């Protein structure tokens, strides 16, 4: 007897903003939702407010880049710190629902594709949140970054974090979000509690949809090459730097990197998409797909074309 190779996914809730799902967990290096990547254009909520649209494009088509050992250790420290911060929150009087294994995820169907992500906590506190359940994401910062965040607030100082929480919270029917950060230099921690701005979220979703629609590689003129950290730019710290350099050099020679990942034709087909790729259920009942993958997705057909008439000014952009 042939057994299903698909992993199980359960729809916990669904509203106009997206779906909350429970899925099987895999290893830290293996995203349980990665089965979606080659089937439909996907943007992770953690990179929704893309500082560089070139990096966002490369990640969407599967160019994940190279993370050096030192950077990976920084990520590992953040992962190790998260359960400690949850303990500190509980000792300070918070009631915390910790998504400790990232088994609870969000899936948001949008024009052309989907946004996915995993929140860290939903918590409440009699004073900090007024007893209201609030979605929170836990971050680890160095001393300089932490003090800057305390002084300026999440929206101004950490717009990528602000965007991430703004995407998550409404899917859980929550009106407020929060960043809980710890200073890794002295282990102090604090929370920034803020209302969710639905107008901002709508604009952000439209920006993401524009990124999803991007069909070919290009250098974002407002991206990492203009953001300096001392003598280095953001590009020097980007995991996709090598992929970006290679794609830019090839584009200059007339070999353009294209987006061959299929688009989602209609966001309303999200249930069929999930039912095709997972053993999907809701309220204990199995959900079977009513359409095929070919019916709900569309792959862009590219024509051979000369890119010289696109006036991309590769030399200027690449060397700026």
Say which DSSP state 40 is in: S
CATH architecture of 8-319: Alpha-Beta Complex (3.90)
Average pLDDT over every residue of 32-36: 86
Query: How does 295-319 read in b/e, with b if 16+ C-beta sit within 10 Å?
Result: ebbeeeeeeeeeeeeeebebeebbe
Domains in the chain: boundaries: 8-319
CA dihedral 138→140→141→143, nearest 10 degrees, is 110
Average pLDDT over every residue of 17-24: 95
- Using 50, 70 and 90 to split pLDDT, how confident is the model at 1? very low
User: Residue 138, SS3?
Assistant: strand
Reading the block at residue 102, the tokens are 């990232």
Structure confidence by residue, pLDDT tens digits, 269-312: 999 999 999 999 999 999 999 999 999 999 887 665 444 434 34
Structure confidence by residue, pLDDT tens digits, 86-137: 999 999 999 999 999 899 999 999 999 999 999 999 999 999 899 999 999 9
| pLDDT value, residue 227 | 64
Higher-pLDDT residue of 57, 182: 182
Higher-pLDDT residue of 57, 169: 169
Q: 158, 156, 155: which is closest to 145 by C-alpha?
A: 158
Among the residues of 115-253, which ranges form H helices? Answer: 143-152, 154-157, 159-171, 198-212, 241-252
| pLDDT value, residue 243 | 87
């Amino acid at each position: 007897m042939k057994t299903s190779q698909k992993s199980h996914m359960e729809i916990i809730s669904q509203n106009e903003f997206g779906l909350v799902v429970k899925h099987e967990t895999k290893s830290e290096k293996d995203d349980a939702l990665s089965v979606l990547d080659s089937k439909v254009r996907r943007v992770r909520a953690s990179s929704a407010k893309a500082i560089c649209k070139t990096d966002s494009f490369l990640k969407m088509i599967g160019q994940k880049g190279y993370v050096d050992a030192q950077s990976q250790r920084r990520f590992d420290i953040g992962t190790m710190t998260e359960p400690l911060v949850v303990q500190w929150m509980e000792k300070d009087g918070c009631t915390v629902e910790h998504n400790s294994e990232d088994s609870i995820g969000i899936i948001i169907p949008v024009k052309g594709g989907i946004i996915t992500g995993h929140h860290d906590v939903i918590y409440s506190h009699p004073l900090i949140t007024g007893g209201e359940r609030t979605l929170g994401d836990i971050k680890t910062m160095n001393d300089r970054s932490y003090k800057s965040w305390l002084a300026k607030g999440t929206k101004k100082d950490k717009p990528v974090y602000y965007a991430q929480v703004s995407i998550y919270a409404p899917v859980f029917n929550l009106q407020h979000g929060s960043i809980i950060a710890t200073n890794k230099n002295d282990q102090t921690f604090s929370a920034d509690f803020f209302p969710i701005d639905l107008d901002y979220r709508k604009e952000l979703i439209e920006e993401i949809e524009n990124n999803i629609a991007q069909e070919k590689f290009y250098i974002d003129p407002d991206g990492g090459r203009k953001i300096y950290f001392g003598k280095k730019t953001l590009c020097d710290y980007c995991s996709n730097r090598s992929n970006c350099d290679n794609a830019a050099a090839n584009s200059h020679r007339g070999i353009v990197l294209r987006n061959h990942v299929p688009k989602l034709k209609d966001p309303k087909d999200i249930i069929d998409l999930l039912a095709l790729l997972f053993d999907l259920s809701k309220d204990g009942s199995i959900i079977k797909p009513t359409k095929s993958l070919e019916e709900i997705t569309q792959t862009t057909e590219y024509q051979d074309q000369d890119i010289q008439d696109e006036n991309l000014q590769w030399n200027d952009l690449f060397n700026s």
